Amino acid sequence: MSSWQKQSIVANNAPKAIGPYSMAIKAGPFLFVSGQLGLDPVTGDLVSGGVAAETRQALNNLKAILEAAGSSLEAVVKTTVFLRDIGEFSTVNQVYNEFFTQNPPARSAIQAAALPRGAAVEIEAIALLPDVSS
């Protein structure tokens, strides 16, 4: 038997996974959140309004998953932002700053040739989980 454990997280108020992966995985003191698109959790469609609206929705989806796992945006230590067009980085940055106002996480931003569903942005995260042993 191994000494490690992992647990899949499902958030009811975030879009369902669009492939064979978990929304997030709890492992040790960390939560690994799969890349979130600007998908409306109700319809499963990309929100309209361009990269700013997609970024806002992707971050709201990320927040919902973090909260379902008992974590929060404040506990995020690292994000990776995938952009269809790196020229939209400043627009994404403006929205991102609304969610991470103090002590923002480490971050990478990468231009991708294409993203699922034709999305303009995808954001994944690693967050800390609360210490429940004390």
Model confidence over 43-55: pLDDT tens digits?
Answer: 999 999 999 999 9
Please check whether the domain covering 6-12+23-128 is classified as CATH 3.30.1330.40.
Answer: yes
Dump pLDDT digits (tens) for 86-108: 999 999 999 999 999 999 999 99
Beta carbons of 80 and 110 less than 8 angstroms apart: yes
The model carries a pTM of 0.93
Neighbours of 44 (CB within 10 A): 11
| For residue 31, pLDDT beyond 50 | yes
* Beta strands 106-111 and 76-83, pairing class: parallel
Beta carbons of 127 and 25 less than 8 angstroms apart: no
| Angle subtended by helix axes 89-99 and 50-68, to nearest 10 | 30
The domain ranges of the chain are 6-12+23-128
Nearest C-alpha neighbor of 127 from the set 30, 12, 6 = 30
| For residue 3, pLDDT beyond 70 | no
Percent of the chain at pLDDT above 70?
Answer: 96
| For residue 2, pLDDT beyond 70 | no
**What Å distances lie between residue 24 and 10, 92, 95, 117, CA to CA?**
7, 23, 23, 20
pLDDT given for residue 17 in this prediction: 87
Chain position carrying tokens 């379902």: 68
